[in-house]
Amino acid sequence: QVQLVESGGGLVQAGGSLRLSCASSGRTFSTSGMAWFRQAPGKDREFVAVISRSGGTSYADFVKGRFTIWRDNAKNMVYLRMNSLKLEDTAVYYCATDMYDRFGHYIESYDYWGQGTQVTVSS
């Protein structure tokens, strides 16, 4: 069983920045893929970014150039830096882990999920 705990969400003005953090209790963190997803009210959960165990990254088109994902294997942490935030970035952001490091963009690729952290972007 892996526990993921997100933090760092909050209220920010449009154009501002936030850094989300995700702490993992998994013993296999360093060999697992990690990702961020988000879910806005009334919408499906959607892929935001993924980082492989080797550090390769992939982003959803709508965050390219604005968001950065990285990991610290020594601390069992994954992060998401969000710059130039827009109103439409408002959502609950979830951290997820894939023990098989499939580098997936789909919910089904991920085995464990955090409880989410709310990000609200205001005008």
CA-to-CA separations, 114 to 23, 64, 92, 96, 111, in angstroms, rounded: 9, 23, 11, 6, 11
Looking at residue 2, its pLDDT comes to: 93
DSSP 33: E
Looking at residue 26, its pLDDT comes to: 81
DSSP result, 38-60: EE-TTS--EEEEEE-TTS-EEE-
What tokens does 121 get? 């972007």
CA-to-CA separations, 54 to 2, 22, 24, 70, 118, in angstroms, rounded: 20, 18, 17, 11, 28
CA-to-CA separations, 109 to 5, 74, 97, in angstroms, rounded: 19, 24, 9
User: What pLDDT, in 10s, does the model give residues 43-60?
Assistant: 999 999 999 999 999 999
Neighbours of 99 (CB within 10 A): 15
User: What pLDDT, in 10s, does the model give residues 62-84?
Assistant: 998 999 999 999 999 999 999 99
